[in-house]
A = this chain, B = another copy of it.
Amino acid sequence: MEIPSVYLERAVGQFASLPGIGRKTAMRLVLHLLRRERTDIETFSAILHELAENVRYCVDCHNITDEERCGICANPSRDHTTICVVENVQDVMAIEATQQYRGIYHVLGGIISPMDGIGPQDLEIASLVQRARQPEVKEIILALSPTMEGDTTCFYIYRKLADTAVAVTTLARGVAQNDQLQYTDEITLGRSIIDRRPFKG
């Protein structure tokens, strides 16, 4: 398909470089932008520029932030004795949305995945071990996805933390809220029986 404008062509190329967006969708998005006021496109452009200029990663936990230290690490009312280890920034937001956690985080920036060429040295594991040696840290929660890669990463970190004094914990596994038991996979269901809890009526 021949595109009648090099500027349109370039903008379509940028959108089509994003994951899950093909050239037809990219074309639809750019033509949608062109139907708006031109100042709206300028605003979009300026906001991307500011994003590139200003977004930083927290020096402690590597969460996204606008400051040297993120809002969670800088908050003295959070429990700095407990560090929750997550794969990425979205996971921090997901756990924050539960309102069940008052500790701080450590964002690995990925999980160990030999298939994708991601090894331990590509992740923020060395800095986690360093944080775990600080005397105020009592517990490290491994909150990684319950997949093969997540389990591998948990095990690797667990071994790295062996000579520290911290308690290492992981998320409870079991049946999910509103799951149908008959459709729950047998590993999950088996685990939920082994890890059964006293019923609180």
A interface list, Cβ under 8 A from B? 1-8, 10-11, 13-14, 18-21, 25, 27-34, 38-39, 41-52, 54-55, 63-66, 70-72, 88-90, 92-94, 96-97
Give chain B residues whose Cβ lies under 8 Å from the Cβ of A72: 4
Give chain B residues whose Cβ lies under 8 Å from the Cβ of A89: 4, 31
Question: Quick one: which of B27, B48, B64, B88 contacts A45, CB cutoff 8 A?
Answer: B48
How many chain copies? 2
Contact A55 B7 (CB under 8 A): yes
11 additional contacts, CB 8 Å, given A5-B65, A10-B47? A4-B70, A5-B55, A5-B64, A18-B32, A20-B25, A30-B51, A41-B49, A45-B45, A45-B49, A45-B52, A48-B48
Query: What is the bound-complex CA distance between A3 and B89, given in angstroms?
Result: 9
5 pairs from A and B in contact (CB 8 Å cutoff): A7-B55, A7-B66, A14-B44, A21-B29, A34-B51
Query: What is the bound-complex CA distance between A70 and B54, given in angstroms?
Result: 39
Contact A42 B50 (CB under 8 A): no
Q: A29-B18, A64-B34 are in contact. Are A1 and B97 (CB under 8 A)?
A: yes
